[in-house]
Amino acid sequence: MPTRTREWWRDAIVYQIYVRSFADSNGDGRGDLAGVIDHLDHLQELGVDAIWLTPCYPSPQLDHGYDVADYFDIEPMYGDLATFDRLVTQSHARDIRVMMDVVPNHCSDRHAWFQAALDSPTGSRERARFFFRDGRGEHGELPPNNWRSVFGGAAWTRVSGQGGAPGQWYLHTFSPWQPDFDWECPDVGEMFSAMYRFWFDRGVDGFRVDAVTVVGKAPGLPDAPPVALGLPETHAWALNPHTVFWPSGHDAWRLLRKVMDDYELQNPGRVLTSVSEAYTPRRPDLLLQYVRPDEFHQSFGFDLLLSPWNAKMLRHAIGDEYDVLASAGASLTWTLNNHDTQRTVTRYGRADAALPESWTGNNLVYTNTPVDIEVGTTRARAMFLFAAGLPGSLYLFQGEELGLPEVLDISDDRRQDPIFERTNRKEIGRDGCRIPLPWSNDAATAFGFSPRSVEPWMPQPADWGRWALNVQHDDPASMFTLYRNAIAGRRVIDQSTPLEWIDTEADKFIAYRRGSLVVLMNLADEATEVPTASIANGEVIVLSSNAGHADPRVLPANTCVWMQ
């Protein structure tokens, strides 16, 4: 068992494992749980406090596990319950907590409940667990309303009725293989309560909770207001006020929080957490709703991830959420990368990365301007160091500690994200941040991803070995070394000290103080004189740039420094 029993999650470094792409132990070209166990030493060396596993439940994998067919078992491709138990034990032995991913908005269309619903009549209890509705039009041939799905196309699919005649429609906020649960039906809350207890009994320390903003639905499912023509498909859904942030969703979070609080009471020594995936662009007031004391313990502050490389905008992205959450006593949760977002190295390397207009407020929607990987890497290093000093917890996404770029040039026939086909190939989707990790520069083993020569489920670029862990491990200038040093360096921070902004009076800089630690970042593309003399004299603890720091009054281009 991990040794610390206080609320460990408040300032934890949590490492997100996209199981399918992390490490393949059996040579089938797909990552698995035994592969995670094999690399726990890496995570321990990196210094993480917890791991978050993306969904590893039985699933047809049409959205790589975010289409769950059974919430109480392990996907055979990834292992079995015994392997999962071993993973928990071995993680805990290293003082690493284990978080799972729960998908409460929808399941797979292969889930037993949905199959039963298809076999049951209109108005049945089986159908009440989902949103089955009659169609509009003379023969019910039109969807019940005009809602759009996140991955493109209508949010409704029609099923066959008795004797194969066209029947009712069901709602799917994401793809047609992901039917939405109706949380008004008590069966749903009961099932997820039982699921939480099932995994807590196996030693799980918490959940990352998927797609929470769309779980509520307005009674009667009214049409959404029309959206402007030409909006990306993956953005149109976000403007539907009859589901996005619909308040009834919060009833679900209160129910599940009660399950967690009760579990902690009955099991002294267990300290659990839940973190919500709620994108609340520039609405810290909405973010705050998810971390009310009887809802989630944490909720990602995604404005940081969404923000361009721009001092003023970053100050707002961080400062506005900090002000609202910290003053309410709520925990801050930062992240720069995840499995749905273009990687920082690529994002910050885009020609328009610093322009305010590059803000889209949506992690699925990016511009397509040229990318300079060197600039992007330098900025990604700085941004990580800047974020690592902030109060709160920080969630990392696998491979960011290696500085992996987004892989943009995947051939069409290899793309797997449903977004690609559902948008008629207009949007490339999220495959590029999910490329199997390079553990070694040995191309014959899929760069150490697999134990032997095998074609991994997603193609790796020919030069992937350049980013391999074994190449970076002992290199003082590598991304890996920076991550390890910064995570270790966090120990100098008294985590109870608040964030205090330092007014730099310059658009090029952003700076803050945490007790005796000063964190200063130069966002300009050239070395720039430190604006405030009082902070130029500190002792450098960590520097993001390899360009040296000979003159302490001048900070290299795109660089962050920790000083004391």
Contact residues: ligand GLC, CB under 6 A = 63, 66, 103, 174, 210-211, 277, 339-340
List the Cα angle 55/59/65 in 5-degree steps: 30
Of 210 and 400, the one with the shorter C-beta distance to ligand GLC is 210
Identify which of residues 244 and 487 has a Cβ nearer to ligand GLC in the complex: 244
Please state the closest distance from residue 276 (CB atom) to ligand GLC, in A: 11
Question: Among residues 59 and 378, whose Cβ is nearest to ligand GLC?
Answer: 59
Q: Are 208 and 100 in contact (CB under 8 A)?
A: yes
Rounded to whole angstroms, the Cα distance separating 408 from 201 reads 41
Structure tokens, 519: 């964190």
Contact (CB, 8 A) for 559 and 544: yes
Closest approach, Cβ 497 to ligand GLC, in A, equals: 32
Task: Give the integer Cα–Cα distance in Å for 523 and 354.
Answer: 9
> What are the angstrom distances between the C-alpha of 421 and each of 152, 435, 497, 528, 557?
9, 19, 48, 46, 40
Q: How far is the CB of 354 from ligand GLC (least distance, A)?
A: 27
Place of tokens 């059974």: 70
d(CA 203, CA 90): 11
Q: Which of 399, 393, 519, 507 is nearest to 461 (CA)?
A: 399
* Residue closer to ligand GLC (CB basis): 273 or 559: 273
Q: Which is nearer to ligand GLC, 59 or 472 (CB)?
A: 59
DSSP of 428-445, one letter per residue? --SGGG-PPP--SS-GGG
Cβ 65 to ligand GLC shortest distance, Å: 9
| Closer residue to ligand GLC, CB minimum distance, 253 or 439 | 253
- When the beta carbons of 102 and 324 are compared against ligand GLC, the nearer one is 102
Measured from the CB atom, the residue of 17 and 103 that comes closer to ligand GLC is 103
Q: How far apart are CA 247 and CA 214, in angstroms?
A: 10
User: Quick one: 233 or 277, whose CB is closer to ligand GLC?
Assistant: 277
Tell me the closest approach of the beta carbon of residue 401 to ligand GLC, in angstroms. Answer: 20
Question: What's the CA gap between 171 and 173, in Å, rounded?
Answer: 6
- Spatial distance between the Cα atoms of 256 and 274, rounded to a whole number of angstroms: 9
CA distance 250 to 283: 17
Question: What's the min distance (Å) between Cβ of 339 and ligand GLC?
Answer: 6
* CA-to-CA dists, residue 125 to 119, 134, 179, 188, 255, angstroms: 12, 16, 16, 11, 21
Least distance (Å) from ligand GLC to the CB of residue 103?
A: 5
Q: How far is the CB of 44 from ligand GLC (least distance, A)?
A: 26
Shortest separation between residue 505's beta carbon and ligand GLC, angstroms: 39
Coil vs helix vs strand at 473: coil
Nearer to ligand GLC, 304 or 555 (CB): 304
Neighbouring residues of 472: CB distance < 8 A, sequence distance ≥ 6: 402, 478, 479, 480, 481
Q: Which residue is nearest to ligand GLC (CB)?
A: 66
* Residues written for the chain: 564
CB of 267 to ligand GLC, least distance (A): 29
Cα–Cα distance for residue pair 314/298, rounded to 1 Å:
21
